[in-house]
Structure 1
Amino acid sequence: MKAKLKELKKSNIPLMIISTLLFLFYIFPFFLVLINSFKAKMEILSNPIALPKSINFDNFINAFNTMGYPSAITNSFIITTASLFLIIVFSSMLAYFLVRWDWKINKIIFMILVASMIIPFQALMIPFVNIYGSFNMLNSRLLLAVYYLGFGVSLATFMYHGFIKNIPLELEEAAKIDGATKLQVFWKIIFPILKPVTATIAILDVLWIWNDFLLPSLVLISKSMRTIPLSTFYFFGQYTSNYGQAMAALILAIIPVIIFYISMQDKIISGVIEGAGK
């Protein structure tokens, strides 16, 4: 038995080495951002890889004030929360409709949704601004959340669709016999079962929406409505860049996402495992 355990440990050594190297490879950029956030500009330019000579929080204080951090994080929170709510509600209901109502047009709709995922946003960017700008439908946090719904509904519906197909119909039939309406069946029976895939969609969309720069830069014109990614752009000018404060701003920007991810990581792992099982 001990010999077998030793063999298993030896066989896992290459995998552990590869995993460690990959971890170091992925963590290195974050490490550079972290150590340079404590440096002055000349110290960064002279040696960006070296550790800071002293721990100085001036970059964080200046970045906090320059980017208007309270306003920016509030805007990002409102937009991300509203967008996530719309995507989860509409995508889950649409997926349920496409699965449970066996109409021919539903298959066409689902195929169109899946096909739309391959279209890059950059291909739609110019007509998007021209059309919605002509109707004065820019510079609004609520409308931005609706736009995120449009761009995020296809992937979320695709994920919900595959999960709902494996839910037995007997659960819904039993609820209908007890007098539940179709909406009650969905919200009280089906939607709670979708918790794992909902957590996965929530994490993916939070990371996407919170860190998105391009779409908010086209929609949010007013300075008071700028999100965290837009606010970090203050530190990069045409002729000069304040790298130290920019690195500090990036650290301030990713802290909420890291906290959210850590709090949800057990749910996304369980969601992946259950999804693979189904």
Structure 2
Amino acid sequence: MISKKRQSKIILTIASTIIALIWLSPFYLMIVNAFKSKFEIFSNVLSLPSEWKFDNFVQAFIDLDFLNALTNSFIVTFLSVLIIIVFSSMAAYALARNKSRLSGVFFLVFVSAMLIPFQSVMIPLISIFGRMELLNTSGLIFMYLGFGSSLSIFLYHGAVKGIPVSLDEAAMIDGASRWRIFWTIIFPMLKPITVTVMILNVIWIWNDYLLPSLVLSQKNATIPLRMFFFFGQYTKQWHLALAGLTLAIIPVIVLYFFAQKHIIEGVAEGAIK
């Protein structure tokens, strides 16, 4: 006779397996069909390839101008995430340590900004940046700082509140400035939340299509923009597009696996404390 505890564990395992398979099914479809010919994809999208075509990846690599697109994506993502981390962590530290009512209002404004959809400010934003001649990589990075700061400040703010103020006071007694206190004492203690902020913003910025499509030229196009090379008016090269997508997600997956142990810890630390 199986105990109730054992039954619950079996049911939970089955349910978890089903949910995991549902979540992983898009990756299965993408990777499996990346090795098929165009005809075979339309013949049976769920089956394994009858012949594994590695030529799809070679052709996608060439057609995408993958090295150039990868470089553009890396520059935009790295600089954007770096700037978001630096400014958001400093802003959160200042807001958390300043107990004034004005500080609370500023924090509320940052949190409220997460509710504003990009589409509602898209046209005026592009119009303003166009007049300032900032529709380029620099302007895109500046936009990402604005859109990415709200959530980042929210997470950092919760983490900073969990660090005792006595550490700041002890450092001040020893003659340390606010700048030195933050970078040598506080910021190193924010490593879990920093990794979380980094991962969340890397995934968002690396895969973003809409904002770069409005700002960047074809010369500076990122990987998501170059992916539309395979989708013409009269034909869609799904075998090459899926191969290109597989190549595009590899850097983010590698980064995630190296940093995954910090993600849940960082989100919990920033949201609860």
Q: Deviations over 1:161-212 (max 9, x none)?
A: 1111121111111111111111011111111111111111111000000000
Deviation at 1:143, TM superposition (A): 2.3
Match of 1:182 among 178, 182, 190: 178
The alignment-based identity, stated in percent, is: 51
1:250 matched residue in structure 2? 245
**Aligned equivalents of 2:270, 2:147: Cα separation in 1:** 23
Q: Which residue of 2 aligns with 1:61?
A: 58
Provide the alpha-carbon RMSD of the alignment.
Answer: 1.6
2-structure distance, mates of 1:66, 1:32: 22
Instruction: Identify which of 240, 247, 251 aligns with 2:235.
Output: 240
How many corresponding residue pairs?
A: 273
Range with greater deviation from structure 2 (127-136 or 210-219): 127-136
Report if the CA contact (8 A) 1:35-1:51 is conserved.
yes
SS of the counterpart of 2:115? coil
Task: Compute the displacement of 1:114 (Å).
Answer: 1.1
Are residues 99 and 113 of structure 1, via their aligned partners in 2, closer, same or farther at CA, if it must alter by over 3 Å?
same
Q: What are the equivalent positions in structure 2 for 1:224-239 lying under 5 Å apart? A: 224-239=219-234
- Return the alpha-carbon distance in structure 1 between the equivalents of residues 270 and 138 of structure 2: 32
Letter in 1 for 2:19: L
Out of 21, 39, 43, the residue aligned to residue 40 of structure 2 is: 43
1:117 partnered with 2:77: no
What is the correspondence of 1:68-107 to structure 2 with a 5 Å cutoff? Answer: 68-107=65-104
8 A Cα contact 1:37 1:245, kept in partner? yes
Any idea what the Cα deviations from partners look like across 1:98-133, whole Å, max 9, x if unmatched?
Answer: 111222221111111111111110111111111111
2:127 maps to which residue?
130
User: In structure 2, how many angstroms separate the alpha carbons of the residues matched to 1:75 and 1:105?
Assistant: 40
Structure 1 SS opposite 2:10: helix
Distance 1:181 1:116 in 2: 31
Tell me the CA shift for residue 274 of structure 1: 4.3
* CA shift for structure 1 position 27: 0.5
Question: Which stretch of the first structure deviates more once superposed, 242-251 or 264-273?
Answer: 264-273
- Which amino acid in the other structure matches residue 235 of structure 1? F
Aligned to 1:160: 156
1:173 to 152, 169, 175: 169
In 2, the alpha carbon distance for the partners of 1:111 and 1:270 equals 24
In 1, the alpha carbon distance for the partners of 2:215 and 2:269 equals 38
**1:25 Cα offset (Å):** 0.1
Decide which of 250, 263, 266 is 1:268's aligned counterpart.
Answer: 263
Of residues 137, 140, 147, the one that matches 1:151 is: 147
- Give the Cα separation in 1 of the matches to 2:58 and 2:94: 50
4+ residue runs over 6 A deviation: none
Aligned with 2:208 (options 205, 212, 216): 212
Q: Which stretch of structure 1 is more off in the superposition, 129-138 or 67-76?
A: 129-138
Q: Which residue in the other structure is 1:19 paired with?
A: 16
TM-score, length basis structure 2? 0.95
- Partners of 1:32 and 1:277 lie apart in 2 by 37
Deviations 1:15-73 (A, max 9, x none): 11111001000100110011111111111112111211111111111100000110111
The answer for unaligned runs of 5 or more in structure 2 is: none
Deviation at 1:142, TM superposition (A): 2.5
Distance 1:230 1:96, change over 3 A: same
TM-score in terms of structure 1 length: 0.94
Shift in Å at residue 224 of structure 1? 2.1
2:193 to 182, 185, 197: 197
Query: Whole-Å Cα distance in 2 between the matches of residues 277 and 146 of structure 1?
Result: 29
Matched-pair contact (CA < 8 Å) for 1:33–1:251: yes
Letter in 2 for 1:126: I
> Per-residue displacement from partner, 1:73-119 (whole Å, max 9, x unpaired)?
11111111100111011001111111112222211111111111111
